[in-house]
Amino acid sequence: MTDLTLVYTVNVKRPLTFAATSHRVQRSGGALDSFAPVAGPGAWGRLGSMREVMAESQQSTAAPGGTRGARTRGRLRHASRDAFADLGWQGTRVEDIVQRAGVSHGTFYTYYDNKAAVLDDLVRASQADFDALAHEPWKADDVRGALERVIGGFLDLYQRDAVLMRTWLQAARDEPAFGTLYLELRGRFIDRIGEHVAAVAAASGRQGGPPAHTVASALAAMVEHFAYCWAVLGEPHERPDAISSLVLVWGSTLNTVAGFEVVHLG
């Protein structure tokens, strides 16, 4: 059987250019968030006093990219999620976010221009996890296992971020940019699925059939809408039943495209 494994390397770190002075690197959850300059060996003579050096260090830490800044940004993100959960997209104001975060309006605007900027930040962080999930390899000798992992993982992430997904779709009705962002980030997931569908079609040796990208979009839409009904609207389902049902539909589709059993459904 043709090996359907596709291996991707995703570069999640941005290249850094350091100045002559040393830097403090701030990491959160294993990902590089920011770096702030700290005083180098010649700082005492250059700045003239320990007090000046300490003041510079405190300013760097309090800045949006410093340690304290990262904590403040995190509080704003958490407060925004709470506000979106309680009030929805249209009902949430910057006032509601700053009250929940316990910061001033000035602090909020140091980090974000408006509530849309916070949502954009939250959405991109969430979708990075979906993107990583989509890039897990499928092995030809265990396609069913791959489908269970990807579909199960998608449902878990959607449930984890149900408030965010609901808010994102609400915002897309008012802010066209969020609709564009939805299609852009969804497109990455679709492209990855489409590569697998195309590999299955190529293994069949048959010509014709619907485009792999269209098949991939239809399969993804099925999982997306199911996840929305389950995680956001509260439609009752058991997780194992949800995964097995979706794997059955996906597997049947892939088997049809291939013309032979790619996914064992017995």
**Which H or E element spans position 252?**
helix 239-258
**Which H or E element spans position 106?**
helix 105-111
CB 191 within 8 A of CB 213: yes
Q: pLDDT (tens digit, 9 = 90+) per residue, 81-132? A: 999 999 999 999 999 999 999 999 999 999 999 999 999 999 998 988 888 8
CB 241 within 8 A of CB 230: no
| pLDDT, greater one: 66 or 164 | 164
CB 3 within 8 A of CB 140: yes
Sign (positive or negative) of CA dihedral 102, 105, 108, 110: negative
Kindly list the structural domains of the chain, giving each domain's residue range(s) and its CATH number in brackets, ordered by start: 118-258 (1.10.357.10)
DSSP designation for 28: E
Q: What does the pLDDT read at residue 66?
A: 65
Kindly report the three-state secondary structure assignment for every residue of 125-144.
HHHHHHHHHHCCCCCCCCHH
Q: Which of 125, 107, 136, 142 is nearest to 185 (CA)?
A: 125
Report the distance separating Cα 135 and Cα 6, nearest Å.
9
Average pLDDT on 186-191 reads 91
Q: Which two tokens stand for residue 26?
A: 């701030």
80 phi and psi, to 5 degrees? -65, -45
Q: pLDDT (tens digit, 9 = 90+) per residue, 22-46? A: 333 333 343 333 333 333 333 333 3
Q: Is the pLDDT of residue 55 over 70?
A: no
Which residues lie closer than 8 Å to 14 by C-beta, 6 or more apart? 32
Q: Which of 138, 94, 155 is nearest to 119 (CA)?
A: 94
Q: What does the pLDDT read at residue 128?
A: 87
Q: Which amino acid is at 14?
A: R
Report the distance separating Cα 250 and Cα 252, nearest Å.
6
